[in-house]
């Protein structure tokens, strides 16, 4: 398993479960056949900008720090997106399983003026732009977040 796949699994697990500790996260990863050292898991958590917060039912848990700045945006978006393409005024992002919502949230919070709306499934994000030119411009802007120029 490579780093991107491991990190995609981490993001999916914390979005689907109330994970309270790194040890709990490591155990959930192991159930999926992913063995990771504590130091590597700590680095992944830091680089993915994952934070702890109290949930609605007063449980301290990990969550994605997507809105915490451009480093968090770039990291989460880059870890989520596999490829990007467009057709006329629609941009399509193909993502790792379970991470389309994270990628979509980044697009929504970046507030690109040319975006009319977004919708995310499990592994695909559809983005409607105002024109085909806007779709091309958006691909360029999003490529900067993924280093997939």
The continuous run of DSSP H or E covering 135 comes out as helix 132-146
Domain spans of the chain, in order of start: 3-64, 81-146
Q: What is the pLDDT of residue 149?
A: 41
Q: Which residues of 37-65 are buried (b: 16+ CB within 10 A; e: fewer)?
A: eeeebeebbeebbbeeeeeeeeeebbebb
Chain segment 26-39, per-residue pLDDT in tens: 999 999 999 999 99
Percent of the chain whose pLDDT exceeds 90:
44
81-146: CATH topology is Gyrase A; domain 2 (3.30.1360)
Under DSSP, is residue 34 helix (H, G, I), strand (E, B) or coil?
coil
Collect the ranges in the chain with pLDDT lower than 50: 66-71, 148-149
pTM equals 0.54
CATH class of 3-64: mainly alpha
Judge whether 3-64 and 81-146 match in fold: no
């Amino acid at each position: 398993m490579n780093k991107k796949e491991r990190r995609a699994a981490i993001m999916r697990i914390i979005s689907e479960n109330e994970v309270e500790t790194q040890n709990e996260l490591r155990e959930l990863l192991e159930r999926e056949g992913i063995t990771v050292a504590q130091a590597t898991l700590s680095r992944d958590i830091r680089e993915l900008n994952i934070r702890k917060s109290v949930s609605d039912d007063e449980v301290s848990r990990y969550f994605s720090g997507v809105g915490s700045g451009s480093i968090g945006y770039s990291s989460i978006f880059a870890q989520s997106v596999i490829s990007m393409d467009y057709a006329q005024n629609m941009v399509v992002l193909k993502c790792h399983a379970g991470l389309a919502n994270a990628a979509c949230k980044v697009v929504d919070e970046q507030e690109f003026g040319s975006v009319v709306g977004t919708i995310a499934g499990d592994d695909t994000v559809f983005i409607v732009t105002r024109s085909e030119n806007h779709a091309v411009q958006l691909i360029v802007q999003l490529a900067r977040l993924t280093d997939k120029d």
